[in-house]
Amino acid sequence: MAEKSGDSLLYSRPMLNSTYDLHTHSTASDGTLTPAELVRRAAATGVGVLALTDHDETAGLEAAAEAARQARIGFVPGIELSVTWSHQTVHIVGLQIQPETPVLQAGIGKLREFRNWRGEEIARRLEKKGIGGAYQGALGFAGGGILSRTHFAHFLVEQGHARDVRQVFKRFLVQGKPGYVPGQWASLEDALSWIHAAGGLAVIAHPARYRISATRLRQLLGEFRELGGVALEVVSGSHSRDEIMQMSTLVRQLGFAASAGSDYHGPENPYLDLGRLPELPAGCRPLWQHEAWQDVQETADRRAI
Ligand SMILES: [Zn+2]
Ligand SMILES: [Zn+2]
């Protein structure tokens, strides 16, 4: 049973055998449940410790923390930062962050500017292909949260240009397609420095999802480690059983901790629900048993007193 820790966003000291889900999204980014709805659903499906990790956004954390106190589950304030590494978009999850940290907020601000520019540019390019109103349409789906390509996808599906979100990406939004906009997110170095400035731990999100060779992946992991990264998501809602085993071998070989997160975006995604993540394979060291995790948790507890 968790206990309340003052006004801290970190409502926890959860039991080690809780079910952890350290990667989820709310309406503050491209998820479809509000932070409070997400937390309640997580609690109802048996998640014991939940991290909210919206894309480049911390606006949902306070409401999620409050809902977690009420639902009596552990809560970890987090974020998922967009990084461009070697022409590839890579996602870095920051966990146990202090969201109000100025360095982090300034970094997110820059990403937000890029995101808005990209949104306008996607709309301009779609307009040229005869699809008007995409910017306003996508904003409507964003509902005041950050504007993502998923929101454009929902608009295009609604307008009948594709069957579902997956098809929109294939036809319109990936490299070589009319709505693709190249650009640079944060550097790996910047993303980790923002997370560390905010007192958090850095985790590579869904490492099996990147279209890079095994050699390049190891290079990414090497740089990540040199910059102070501690863990990889071994268990992810987007990893197959084989990929989980491959990533578990990697973390054991390279000495990383292992994290687990569903990457839940809402109930519309029927193949992935909360509370159904497989366990970490034997031999991986769970991030929540890592000394760095204990350290940041103690710091957060001290702040709360
Ligand atoms: Zn991601
Ligand atoms: Zn995600």
Rounded to the nearest angstrom, the distance between the alpha carbon of 92 and the centre of ligand 2 is 9
- The strand pair at 74-85 and 88-95 is best described as antiparallel
User: Would you state the pLDDT for residue 294?
Assistant: 86
Rounded to the nearest angstrom, the distance between the alpha carbon of 68 and the centre of ligand 2 is 20
Residue 195 near residue 231, CB atoms below 8 Å: no
User: Would you state the pLDDT for residue 302?
Assistant: 73
Rounded to the nearest angstrom, the distance between the alpha carbon of 296 and the centre of ligand 2 is 22
**Rounded distance between C-alpha atoms, residue 303 and residue 305, angstroms:** 6
User: Would you state the pLDDT for residue 15?
Assistant: 47
Q: Quote the mean pLDDT of the chain.
A: 91
Rounded to the nearest angstrom, the distance between the alpha carbon of 163 and the centre of ligand 1 is 23
Domain 108-173 grouped into CATH 1.10.150.650: yes
User: What digits encode the pLDDT tens for the residues 16-55?
Assistant: 457 999 999 999 999 999 999 999 999 999 999 999 999 9
Rounded to the nearest angstrom, the distance between the alpha carbon of 304 and the centre of ligand 1 is 30
**Rounded distance between C-alpha atoms, residue 213 and residue 217, angstroms:** 6
Rounded to the nearest angstrom, the distance between the alpha carbon of 287 and the centre of ligand 1 is 18
**Rounded distance between C-alpha atoms, residue 10 and residue 66, angstroms:** 10
Domain 20-100+191-304 grouped into CATH 3.20.20.140: yes
Residue labelled with tokens 């979100």: 165
Other CB atoms within 10 Å distance of the CB of residue 264: 28
- φ, ψ of residue 10 in degrees (nearest 5): -85, 100
User: Would you state the pLDDT for residue 304?
Assistant: 64
Q: Where does CATH 1.10.150.650 sit in the chain? A: 108-173
**Rounded distance between C-alpha atoms, residue 233 and residue 24, angstroms:** 13
Q: 50: closest CA among 262, 269, 287, 272?
A: 262
- How many CA atoms does the CB half-sphere of 271 hold within 13 Å? 5
**CA angle (267, 268, 274) in 5-degree steps:** 30
Using a CB cutoff of 5 Å, list residues around ligand 2, an ion.
Answer: 80, 263
**Rounded distance between C-alpha atoms, residue 8 and residue 216, angstroms:** 39
Which strands form 49-52's sheet, in the order they lie side by side? 20-21, 49-52, 74-85, 88-95, 201-204, 231-236, 257-261
User: What digits encode the pLDDT tens for the residues 104-128?
Assistant: 999 999 999 999 999 999 999 999 9
Q: Which ligand is nearest to the CA of 82?
A: 1
139 strand-pairing partners: none
Residues lower than pLDDT 70 in the chain:
1-17, 270, 303-305
Q: Where does CATH 3.20.20.140 sit in the chain? A: 20-100+191-304
